[in-house]
Amino acid sequence: MYPYFSKKDKNIAAQSVEAKDLDDLIENRAEDKTEEDDFRRYIIEALEDAIENQQENSIYYEKLYNIVTNEKDKDILRQISLDEMKYKKIFMDIYKMLTGKEAKIRENYEDIDIDDSLGEELFDSIEEQLEDVEFYRMLMSLFADLPVRDMIYEIIVGKQKNSQRLSNLYNKYK
C-alpha cells in the first residue's frame, strides 16, 4: 500500500481548506526553505574546504619534489602536485556552478613546512590522501546531479591512485 493513501480518512478530497491550514503550509515551506539554505551552505563550505585542501596539497607536493633527488621520484611528486591542481580546478568549477561566483583562495601558504623525515612525510601524505577520499565520498553523496557526481568520482579515483604512488615512494624511503 502506498504511504500517501489514507485508510483513516476517506473524505480527504471533501475537506475544506481553512486559513490556519494555509498558515501551517506556509510555515512548513519556510522551514523547508531554511533547511534547504542550511544544506546549500553546508555544501558550499565543504567545497571551499576541498578547494583549500587541494591548494595546500599541491604546494606540499611541490615542496616534497624539491627535497627528493631521484628524477623518477621527482616526476611522481610533480605529477601528484599537478593532479592536486586539477582537482582544485574541478572543485572550483562545481563551486561556480552552485554559487555563480569564483571561489576565494588564500594567498599565503608559507606555513606549509616539511618537518619530518621524508619517509614520515610520505606516510602522512598517504593518510591524508585516504582521508580526502572519505571526505570526497561524503561530498559526492550530497549531489544528485550525475555530472557533478562523476566529476567528484574522478577526483576520488585520482586520489586513490596517488595514494598508491605515495605508498610506493614510502616503501622506498622508509
Which CATH number covers residue 58? 1.20.1260.10
Give the pLDDT of residue 112: 72
Q: Does residue 87 fall inside a structural domain?
A: yes
**Residue 1 in this model has a pLDDT that exceeds 60:** no
**Residue 16 in this model has a pLDDT that exceeds 80:** no
Residue appearing with cell numbers 606516510: 123
Give the pLDDT of residue 11: 47
Q: Reduce the DSSP state of residue 104 to 3 states and report it.
A: coil
What distance in Å separates the CA atoms of residue 94 and residue 151, rounded to the nearest whole number? 9
Q: Which set of grid coordinates corresponds to residue 148? A: 557533478
Read off the pLDDT band of 2 (50, 70, 90): very low
Q: Does residue 148 fall inside a structural domain?
A: yes
Side chain identity at residue 152, one-letter code: I
Q: Which set of grid coordinates corresponds to residue 123? A: 606516510
What distance in Å separates the CA atoms of residue 37 and residue 18, rounded to the nearest whole number? 29
Q: Say if CB 126 and CB 167 are below 8 A apart.
A: yes
Side chain identity at residue 102, one-letter code: E
Q: Does residue 4 fall inside a structural domain?
A: no
Q: Does residue 38 fall inside a structural domain?
A: no
Give the pLDDT of residue 26: 57
Query: What pTM, to 2 d.p., does this model score?
Result: 0.77
Q: Does residue 33 fall inside a structural domain?
A: no
Element (H, E) at 21: helix 19-67
- pLDDT of 51-99, one tens digit each? 999 999 999 999 999 999 999 999 999 999 999 999 999 999 999 999 9
- pLDDT of 107-158, one tens digit each? 776 777 777 789 999 999 999 999 999 999 999 999 998 999 999 999 999 9
Domain that holds residue 139: 46-173
Q: Into how many domains does the chain fold? A: 1
Q: Which set of grid coordinates corresponds to residue 131? A: 582521508
- pLDDT of 21-58, one tens digit each? 556 655 666 666 677 788 889 999 999 999 999 999 99
Q: Which set of grid coordinates corresponds to residue 152? A: 567528484
Give the pLDDT of residue 23: 61
Give the pLDDT of residue 166: 97
Q: What is the dihedral of CA 148, 151, 152, 157, to 10 degrees?
A: 150
Give the pLDDT of residue 130: 96
Angle between helices 71-99 and 146-173 (to 10 degrees): 160
Residue appearing with cell numbers 506556509: 26
Q: Does residue 25 fall inside a structural domain?
A: no
Q: Does residue 169 fall inside a structural domain?
A: yes
Nearest in space to 140 (alpha carbons), one of 150, 132, 130: 150
Q: Does residue 107 fall inside a structural domain?
A: yes
